[in-house]
Amino acid sequence: MGLKQSLHKMKMKYEGTKMAPAFNAIHTFLYLPNETTHNGTHVKVADDLKRTMNMVIMALVPCLLFGIFNAGYQYNLQTGEVTKALSFFSTEFWNFSNFSIGAWKVLPLVIVSYGVGLLVEFIFAVIKGHEVEEGYLVTGMLVPLIVPVDIPLWMLSVAVVFGVVIGKEVFGGTGMNILNPALTIRAFLFFAYPTWMSGDKVWVTGAVDTVGQPDAISGETILGSLAQNKGFADWSMMDQFLGFIPGSVGETSKLLIIVGALILILSKIGSWRIILSTLVGALSMGLIFNGVVEMGWIDESSKFFGLMNVVFWQHLFIGSILFGAVYMATDPVTASQTNKGKWIYGFLIGFISIMIRVFNPAYPEGVFLAILLMNVFAPTIDHYVVEGNIKKRAKRLKVKTA
Amino acid sequence: MLEHVELFFKSIFVDNMVFAYFLGMCSYLAVSKKVSTAVGLGAAVIFVLTVTVPLNWFLDQYILQPGALAWLDGNRATPELSAYADYDLSFLSFILFIATIATMVQLVEIIVEKFSPSLYNSLGIFLPLIAVNCAILGGSLFMQSREIETAGLALNYGFSSGIGWFLAIVAIAAIREKIRYSNVPAPLRGLGITFIITGLMAIGFMSFGGMLTGGDDAAPSLEGQPEKVGLQLEESIETETAQAAVISE
């Protein structure tokens, strides 16, 4: 009880001063506040904003741990330290050497993302004199998972400041933003520093430093090699499903993303409608492209052939479509709010993601842009769904009264 | 057929009037407070663009282009034989295009006032101001500078650019309705936050940047070959000087 008491004392001491929200936030983040109501009945729910956020973070932790090991594994695999991991519990993957290399790369990303983001949040809370909001807890965890391992830390902090201030705080803070802040941060990085965010040099740690050397490390992702009509390189289906492939830190393991999805769905935090419809959208776009190849409209001379020829369900195992569908598209603030709207919103995300992936040579992966685009249109979809409902009910009312 | 489909999607998403060129901003910012009004103005813009771009295409083809007047003495197919081959009236483009646009806007105004007085009132001054909406004149001028080939394509271009603008204004109107009760910092309330939203929306629309255009030139490459580029430059300079020498001889 010592820490709680001293936190409470500190809070009392600073009460009414400018810094009060900061101390208050630390206190309530760790413990139940000291002052609770004792009489009268109130609505009791366990899932306040802080618990909701913590739930999402828990769903993300497996991906983060896997990402740490994977960052080291990809490096060691190329330098010949370890051989290919064949099963999920292989010791070639879960060993200390992989962990130490990965942790040295990934943990700074996490620390910088949280440190810079929460600092901005605290500053805004102190200036505006309101409580520190919880919104950044999840964003701060998502950001390190969606960037390449080798991203320089100063770029990350610039992007985090942009994402938190322009993406969220100017709209009035958590719950008011129109674009997903984590994706705003990624989009900022992508357009401001394209050479650090795409290409075949950034996805495995150390690849940038060894360019041109005889033992150069290749940092190519599967999507990259597919876009150049080079096929799946030597990554098997199982590698892709378990996640032993190069890519952004957290996006690779489809198995653990599915585990995270189950946590989110069972705790009713993520909307299963959005996840399901996103996958349906992606599959149907994949089917269309397969149909185009089958009809013979496009042959191997076309630069789109490699990606169009991917069997439609394999699109789910490469790139970040699954990660985007589970953790990004389901963001309750920026997604559609109505149930019918969620179906439309999710479907279009999947549809456009695969379209960008195949058709847009400028961007190897389009999931984050597709989600941002649909964030823009989510209020429009909601508006028309609501209007449609109003019209339907008005008609029903007329029939009844007539 | 394929080129029609391509132009259609390209002008809606890739070359969106608002998010790629930031044209037509004044009415876009001012009339986007409510979705229903935004839909009205968007529809008016679609109509005006659909009518004016093909009309201006004909003006461009038969009056303004260098040698366009050749049809006067029956040499449309072989303009170089015509007595009017050297006439270049393209300096009149702005005046003629604006004249067409202003006429069409008058027409729209009369129609809207007749059929939907409530929409007419809520659009207010911005309905006649479509006449000076940069997106409309921009549509005609892009049509001219991109040398769109047939009247059908020009019609398609006007219509689809209009749809792009329509989508943009409806989307931002829905967003502004959603954030009406947000606690936006006082200095940013109103236009400030709208500008920021527009910028963020443009990030979303960048998903289509480079699509359909091939994107080969846009892709950043780490391994340029500077020595070869230099060689090519020298070669081209050499050939140019050689050509110049031939011409001067």
Q: What is the pLDDT of residues A320-366, one digit of tens each?
A: 899 999 999 998 889 999 999 999 999 999 999 998 888 877 777 78
At residue A44, does pLDDT exceed 80?
no
Determine, yes or no, domain membership for B99: yes
A100-115: pLDDT as tens digits: 988 998 999 999 999 9
At residue A163, does pLDDT exceed 90?
yes
Determine, yes or no, domain membership for B62: yes
Q: A166 Cβ partners below 8 Å, 6+ apart? A: A184, B196, B199, B200
d(CA A384, CA B171): 11
B218 or A339, which is more confident: A339
In this complex, which of B196, B201, B211 lies closest to A170 when CB atoms are compared?
Answer: B196
Determine, yes or no, domain membership for B236: no
How open is the CA angle A267-A273-A274, to the nearest 5 degrees? 95
Per-residue model confidence (pLDDT) at position B216: 42
If one counts every other C-beta atom within 10 angstroms of the C-beta of residue A278, the result is 33
Q: By residue range, what is the domain housing residue B59?
A: 1-224
* Of the candidate ranges A233-247, B32-46, B70-84, the one whose mean pLDDT is the lowest: B70-84
d(CA B176, CA B193): 9
Determine, yes or no, domain membership for B230: no
Kindly determine whether residue B183 and residue A376, on different chains, have CB atoms separated by under 8 Å.
no
Size of chain A in residues: 402
Mean pLDDT, rounded, for A144-161: 92
Cβ-based contacts of A172 with chain B (< 8 Å): 179, 182-185
Determine, yes or no, domain membership for B118: yes
Per-residue model confidence (pLDDT) at position A144: 92
Determine, yes or no, domain membership for B82: yes
d(CA A401, CA B201): 44
Predicted confidence band at B226 (pLDDT cuts at 50, 70, 90)?
A: very low
Per-residue model confidence (pLDDT) at position A37: 67
Per-residue model confidence (pLDDT) at position A162: 94
Determine, yes or no, domain membership for B247: no
d(CA A61, CA A69): 13
Q: What is the pTM of this model?
A: 0.85
In this complex, which of A171, A363, A383 lies closest to B179 when CB atoms are compared?
Answer: A171
Q: Chain B: give the shortest CA distance to residue A369, in Å.
A: 5
Determine contact, residues A137/A176, Cβ cutoff 8 Å.
no
A contact test, residue of B178, B184, B207, B216 with most A CBs within 10 A = B207
Question: For residue B34, what is the nearest residue in chain A, using CA coordinates?
Answer: A383
Cβ-based contacts of B212 with chain A (< 8 Å): 359
Cβ-based contacts of A383 with chain B (< 8 Å): 35, 174, 177
Cβ-based contacts of B35 with chain A (< 8 Å): 380, 383
Kindly determine whether residue B220 and residue A194, on different chains, have CB atoms separated by under 8 Å.
yes
| Highest mean predicted confidence (pLDDT) among A8-12, A73-77, A338-342, B2-6 | A338-342
Cβ-based contacts of A372 with chain B (< 8 Å): 203-204, 207
In this complex, which of B183, B201, B220 lies closest to A195 when CB atoms are compared?
Answer: B220
Number of independent structural domains in chain B: 1
Determine, yes or no, domain membership for B45: yes
A231-282: pLDDT as tens digits: 776 778 888 888 888 888 888 889 999 999 999 999 888 899 999 999 999 9
| % of chain A exceeding 90 in pLDDT | 35
